[in-house]
Structure 1
């Protein structure tokens, strides 16, 4: 029998990085620039370089006087990350970056190119406190929350890398962002929400990525799901359910001991009703653990009752992690599971797994130096 591990909702108190342009709203940027003795319009120029041109290099900011550039960049664009290394697979179309923050904290992000889109899997925390036993990140524990700017800067760096041809296939435009990297996004709620606004606000106030192309995942923090529903955003909510029954979910997703499956699905329905957006249900399929036909039937029935047509199930073949005794379900079992969920009237497909060989797939991020 698997045992539950303690949950950590509050990150350890560790210093966040210095104030950064991406932490601030457009009005706050103007105030910050004026406080430095510069004209307010310099804030828009800085924002254009950071969000529009994706650069933090003072030498590239030729519309700002030389005497002001270094000070403005030093005060409002402090270095947030150093890329320790980047590794690629899938003919160069999947690229994982290991990033070191100002305090030595390590995080990972994964950039993926598909025929119709380019997606970044972004981290919202260093580590994770949710303690899901099949996830390498969760087993490593939580180091700290990331700042708004640290989240946004992962996106800026990835957008620049895609633009500059770092992915196989040549230059690309970053089109999608999924909060499915390290951490539980809704446990770092305010900073994640501010980051979503910076990611989606039109340039030069933000990176200009459509809200409908952003996905925020959660293991099921019910109050935060309900709060997010009322923020007026059009992002996709992804709920990592992994099993439809409370007995097993208490061990697979320990937060279930606080908010049960029915509560999670009710919150998801509230989100769908408020936003008109279809909810994504994530289901890591584990051999002989959660892949039984009766669980597929129960999943389909519960989702049909709670969410109707406002749901889609992503079945994710379990990705191997070091030391894990679990494995992905055999393909015939996977196919039968998907068939049964679809037969219940709930759309269900198998997610394309990317990056296994470089430990970049779902549940594999561990940020090892």
Structure 2
């Protein structure tokens, strides 16, 4: 059964009193909560503003509340994490390890874009993107991925996903403009909490749905379910191979979901949403980056309303995969263009800070 529509929820759902942690609750729900505590309704708007826009980490921090009430509610959690480690790359990318209340560690990355990348300066910040995680670890076990090598612990709750965005926003002292669900974990295996986080990030934090991208390896029937939400969120499918045998080599979980079935479901999602799908393809030297692979990929995507992101691999110590040469990357790109496939080469940011997913957590946990 598919998750209920966020659109329908926003119009028809009756607000309920949230159970702490409070992060992720709507204005109406927070208003009901303050009233349940014997406070006037206007305190709900104040609480909403302090949680989502002023970065309050504790109810005791909210100075517009009376000291007496703050002392009474000081132990009620908002739902914020603790900074475990912070690493800054020369290009301005910041990688965070956040410790959750149960001691688990999760990664998030703040990726600034400046008008002059050679001279990063807060005054020239054009865009601030947050790469968020949706699980502690990942069960998909992709062979080239550092997170997959660390195994799977648990899903993240809605407030733990939203907290990552607020952490980056507070650290940069800049409004977040874009969010990519491309950190640790498979978002479509944590559908309900991810949908709840998207709703709150849109309606409470104020980030437009068109500025959100969700990346998935592809879970049978879940792409369709996500499409049926009729969101304006970009869907990015991690393909990484142009045929089933090679895809199973790189993504062991793909053995239960043939690439033909995956693409059929993606085509159905395009029909449902009217939005194109992005396909992500990590280029691994000598593995999936040959000219014949590019030609096969082009044939696979012919007639598809899509865009391909080529991602030159960022090596990790656990495996021997390497990044292709610049010439090999250019040849692959040119072949796709010759077949009229829209394509962009995207290089990883923050490499000097171990900001590739899973790397920092493995070294600093």
Is the structural similarity TM-score above 0.5?
Answer: yes
1:318 aligns with 2:313: yes
CA contact (8 A) 2:294 2:335 kept: yes
1:176 aligns with 2:171: no
- Partners in 1 of 2:297 and 2:137 — Cα distance? 29
Q: Deviations over 1:297-347 (max 9, x none)?
A: 111121123x2xx21111111111122111011111111111111111111
- Partners in 2 of 1:323 and 1:255 — Cα distance? 19
1:258 aligns with 2:256: yes
Distance 1:245 1:23, change over 3 A: same
Distance 1:344 1:363, change over 3 A: farther
Question: Which sections of structure 1, spanning at least 5 residues, go unmatched?
Answer: 1-17, 164-171
Q: Deviations over 1:86-116 (max 9, x none)?
A: 110124x100011111111011111011134
Distance 1:255 1:21, change over 3 A: same
CA contact (8 A) 1:122 1:179 kept: yes
CA contact (8 A) 1:124 1:179 kept: yes
- Partners in 2 of 1:270 and 1:161 — Cα distance? 40
Residue aligning to 1:137: 147
1:337 aligns with 2:346: no
CA contact (8 A) 1:134 1:324 kept: yes
Residue aligning to 2:157: 147
Residue aligning to 1:350: 345
Residues 296-315 of structure 1 correspond to what in structure 2 (within 5 A)? 296-305=294-303, 307=304, 310-315=305-310
The SS at the match of 1:239 is strand
Distance 1:329 1:363, change over 3 A: farther
Distance 1:178 1:212, change over 3 A: same
1:217 aligns with 2:215: yes
Residue aligning to 2:13: none
Structure 1 residue 238, shift from structure 2 partner: 0.6
1:158 aligns with 2:164: no
Structure 1 residue 27, shift from structure 2 partner: 3.8
Question: Which sections of structure 2, spanning at least 5 residues, go unmatched?
Answer: 1-18, 115-125
- Partners in 2 of 1:255 and 1:247 — Cα distance? 12
Say which of 240, 246, 249 aligns to 1:248: 246
Residue aligning to 1:268: 266
Residue aligning to 2:49: 48
Residue aligning to 1:197: 199
- Partners in 2 of 1:102 and 1:363 — Cα distance? 20
User: Number of aligned pairs?
Assistant: 335
Q: RMSD of aligned C-alpha atoms?
A: 1.8
